[in-house]
Structure 1
């Protein structure tokens, strides 16, 4: 589900549809859904981290997983779409990174991570079909190792080219995400909690300024 800026945000104007079918059809619509590059927030927030084990939630076609593997991480990449994962796996094999990435086809709504992980990352884990995002993120946060990092990035504003219409419910801010995680404050350190602007190229080729909500937390104690 992840992509550097082109992923449509969590909205509520899609008809009820099985998430696995929706996302598999979405990826089959074209040879490639996303750019293949890593998300800018991941490159920025993880640049200074010592490589270890990483969990990429909603990995899509693997742009983030590939970047992490290229930078020394052992990655578990999870997505609901087998087509997206097959593309990521092919790219990893072509780049000589196959042994550094484990690809798992699973519905994050029910999948149980097997941590601990030194980095758990979720970029644009927002969906126009049913997705228990808060449950998924709480479950993933519990797998972060002491000293490890949780990075959650989402749309703070709707991209101008989004086909979906706002329904009056604002997109979650970094503060909202932090509150929804229900973490013990004494066990976590806030590294980044901000709305961050970046430039992205839309489907029509025009450049727009997008705003992401970025939350980076470091676990300071075990549970």
Structure 2
């Protein structure tokens, strides 16, 4: 489908690299100051994803934005081989330490990777991909679209992609410092709040199995959990 270009330029495009680097630094400092900041228990989306991946017969899982690894470790305990990526070496170092302590080192590999770059994997090389609140970080819409195209490239036929994003119904949407493209920075964390139209566009050419609304945290954050699959 051909889309008509938006005649209005994206606000302050030259600030995007600076914002990305600032967020990388902020997350590094956050992981150093608050090891295991999300706790040891897996997220509810990861528990759902593990069941969905198992039902689809998956064996290998790629997690994007794994952080200190609570969800990657859950996938490994469930029996999957896991490649965990994040742009924070500090978070991944914590993940490796915990994996070794729990006897899961053989099931978990890590690699430092910025999702603005192509995924460091061959075509059709993994069974499933998981990303909890990674796509709604400080990524522009074109960067999100390029990332989903990369996810599709590395998934095998019949592969499943489960991701979560905060959406424009969230209480923090429109609060704090605006960076354009529905990206708002609040408390040092920049978030790209998704409209439903973007979710539907990212699912073009996939089978969109589910868009599930849920809440997380004390605010609470309002999110969608999206499950989409590559047709066999």
TM-score band, normalised by the shorter chain? 0.7 to 0.9
Match of 2:207 in 1: 189
Separation in structure 1 between the aligned mates of residue 36 and residue 46 of structure 2, nearest angstrom: 21
When the two structures are superposed, what TM-score results if normalisation uses the length of structure 1? 0.75
When the two structures are superposed, what TM-score results if normalisation uses the length of structure 2? 0.73
Match of 1:219 in 2: 230
> Closer, same or farther in 2 for the Cα pair 1:22/1:166, shift >3 Å?
closer
Match of 1:123 in 2: 132
Tell me by how many angstroms 1:124 deviates: 0.5
Q: Does 1:59 align with 2:66?
A: yes
> Closer, same or farther in 2 for the Cα pair 1:61/1:138, shift >3 Å?
same
Tell me by how many angstroms 1:158 deviates: 7.2
Tell me by how many angstroms 1:173 deviates: 3.7
Separation in structure 1 between the aligned mates of residue 169 and residue 96 of structure 2, nearest angstrom: 30
Please, which runs of 5 or more residues in structure 1 have no aligned partner? 1-11, 203-207
Separation in structure 2 between the aligned mates of residue 174 and residue 117 of structure 1, nearest angstrom: 27
Match of 1:6 in 2: none
Mapping of 1:200-215 within 5 angstroms?
Answer: 200=217, 202=218, 208-215=219-226
Mapping of 1:8-27 within 5 angstroms?
Answer: 16=19, 18=21, 19-27=23-31
Runs of 4+, deviation exceeding 4 Å: 12-15, 128-131, 157-162
Separation in structure 2 between the aligned mates of residue 175 and residue 193 of structure 1, nearest angstrom: 12
One of 168, 174, 177 as aligned partner of 2:199: 177
Tell me by how many angstroms 1:96 deviates: 0.8
Task: Verify the 8 A CA contact 1:178 1:215 in the aligned structure 2.
Answer: no
Separation in structure 1 between the aligned mates of residue 160 and residue 20 of structure 2, nearest angstrom: 33
Separation in structure 2 between the aligned mates of residue 46 and residue 156 of structure 1, nearest angstrom: 23
Separation in structure 1 between the aligned mates of residue 117 and residue 20 of structure 2, nearest angstrom: 17
Please, which runs of 5 or more residues in structure 2 have no aligned partner? 1-11, 184-192
Structure 1, residues 161-192: CA drift from partner, whole Å, max 9, x if none?
A: 89x627483821454123035x42xxx32221
Structure 1, residues 141-175: CA drift from partner, whole Å, max 9, x if none?
A: 2211112101121112576589x627483821454
One of 151, 156, 160 as aligned partner of 1:149: 160
> Closer, same or farther in 2 for the Cα pair 1:26/1:158, shift >3 Å?
farther
> Could you say what the CA RMSD is over the residues aligned between the two structures, in angstroms?
3.1
SS at structure 2 position matched to 1:38: coil
Decide which moves more: 125-134 or 170-179.
125-134
Tell me by how many angstroms 1:219 deviates: 1.3
One of 34, 55, 58 as aligned partner of 2:38: 34
Q: Which has the higher helix share?
A: 2
